[in-house]
């Protein structure tokens, strides 16, 4: 796949993708991109034969190309139309020692009237409780492929999420990542702004790094669904997400650098 990155943008991106401190010095940021669904799990349906699994993979491939061009160490949970369970996606992310996790999805509505009226972009981070009924409905739809349904998981899911929220700074950093990505998506695409939301997504609950789930639009909407199938629009989405990732990493570097203890003898008497 050939991408037309503007030269100046490419240079700036190369300058800003953060190295992550490690025991042996610094390494490139390790990012896992998760194209939703795949194989028999087609996800939401759009105009004609358009399927969520296809749109998610196409955007993920474009996003990977941009982040790799910026010097990132990028992995996909699937690189083709294959069935990968939510549990496998979480395990793969943690096995790679990811610094960031971004799950790509497309939204939908169930009735003809709602499909005709509802469009827009939403960006989610993990929470034990959803922002509202609409956010909970999105989480329930995406969690349908989880090992057990939300109802049967009951308190165990809540416990898992709460454990995740208190384990590290990943929860607050997930919020920061969502707010870094979302406004750039709206500005780049001029899509309807449905906001940053919180919901109990299974695929986010076990990931041991800042993680977000992006609903790039309503594939069920007669106009937005058509846009999601267009290569130029997919490029806009990938560009906006990559810009948000770079901004988040840049800000994180500054924050973490301010926490480092001063080297002995570096202070002025």
Q: Tens of pLDDT along 18-59?
A: 566 544 347 899 999 999 999 999 999 998 899 999 999 999
Angstrom CA distances, 1 to 64, 92, 114, 176, 239, stand at 11, 24, 35, 31, 15
pLDDT of 207 higher than 60: yes
Is 45 part of any domain?
yes
Is 4 part of any domain?
no
Burial class (CB in 10 A: 0-12, 13-18, 19+), 95: exposed
The reported pLDDT for the residue numbered 160 is 58
Angle, helices 7-16/52-69, rounded to nearest 10 degrees: 80
Is 19 part of any domain?
no
Is 44 part of any domain?
yes
pLDDT of 9 higher than 50: no
Question: Does the reported pTM lie above 0.85?
Answer: no
pLDDT of 17 higher than 80: no
**CATH for 186:** 3.40.630.40
Cross-strand pairs, 238:
none
**Confidence grade of residue 206 (pLDDT, cut at 50, 70, 90):** confident
User: Which domain does 108 fall in, by range?
Assistant: 27-254
CA distance 26 to 6: 27
Is 261 part of any domain?
no
Give the up-direction half-sphere exposure of residue 190: CA atoms within 13 A in the CB hemisphere: 1
The reported pLDDT for the residue numbered 133 is 81
CA distance 175 to 172: 5
Count of domains in the chain? 1
- Residues 167-173 have a mean pLDDT of 71
Is 268 part of any domain?
no
The reported pLDDT for the residue numbered 239 is 98
Strands 19-22, 25-28: pairing is antiparallel
pLDDT digits 0-9 by tens, 108-154: 999 999 999 999 999 999 987 677 788 877 877 787 777 754 444 44
Is 259 part of any domain?
no
- Check: CB of residue 109 under 8 Å from CB of residue 115: yes
pLDDT, the chain, mean: 84
Is 262 part of any domain?
no
Q: Which of 170, 160, 152 is nearest to 208 (CA)?
A: 170
The reported pLDDT for the residue numbered 162 is 55
pLDDT digits 0-9 by tens, 209-235: 999 999 999 999 999 999 999 999 999
DSSP structural state of residue 210: -
């Amino acid at each position: 796949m050939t991408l037309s990155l503007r030269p100046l943008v490419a240079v700036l991106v190369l300058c800003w993708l953060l190295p992550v401190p490690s025991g042996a010095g610094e390494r490139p940021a390790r990012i896992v991109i998760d194209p939703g669904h795949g194989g028999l799990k087609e996800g939401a349906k759009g105009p004609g034969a358009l399927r969520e699994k296809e749109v998610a993979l196409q955007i993920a491939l474009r996003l990977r190309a941009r982040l790799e061009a910026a010097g990132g160490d990028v992995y996909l949970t699937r690189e083709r139309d294959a069935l990968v369970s939510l549990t496998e996606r979480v395990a793969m992310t943690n096995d790679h020692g990811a610094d960031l996790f971004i799950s790509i999805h497309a939204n939908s509505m169930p009735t003809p009237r709602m499909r005709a009226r509802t469009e827009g972009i939403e960006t989610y981070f993990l929470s034990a409780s959803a922002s509202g009924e609409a956010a909970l409905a999105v989480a329930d739809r995406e969690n349908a492929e989880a090992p057990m349904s939300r109802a049967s998981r009951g308190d165990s899911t809540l416990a898992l999420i709460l454990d995740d929220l208190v384990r590290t700074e990943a929860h607050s950093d997930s919020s920061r990542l969502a707010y870094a990505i979302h406004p750039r998506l709206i500005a780049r695409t001029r899509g309807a702004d449905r906001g940053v939301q919180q919901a109990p997504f299974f695929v986010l609950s076990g990931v041991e790094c800042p993680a977000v789930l992006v609903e790039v639009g309503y594939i069920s909407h007669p106009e937005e669904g058509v846009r999601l199938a267009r290569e130029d629009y997919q490029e806009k989405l990938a560009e906006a997400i990559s810009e948000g990732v770079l901004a988040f990493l840049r800000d994180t570097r500054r924050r973490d650098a301010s926490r480092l203890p001063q080297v002995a003898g570096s202070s002025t008497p």
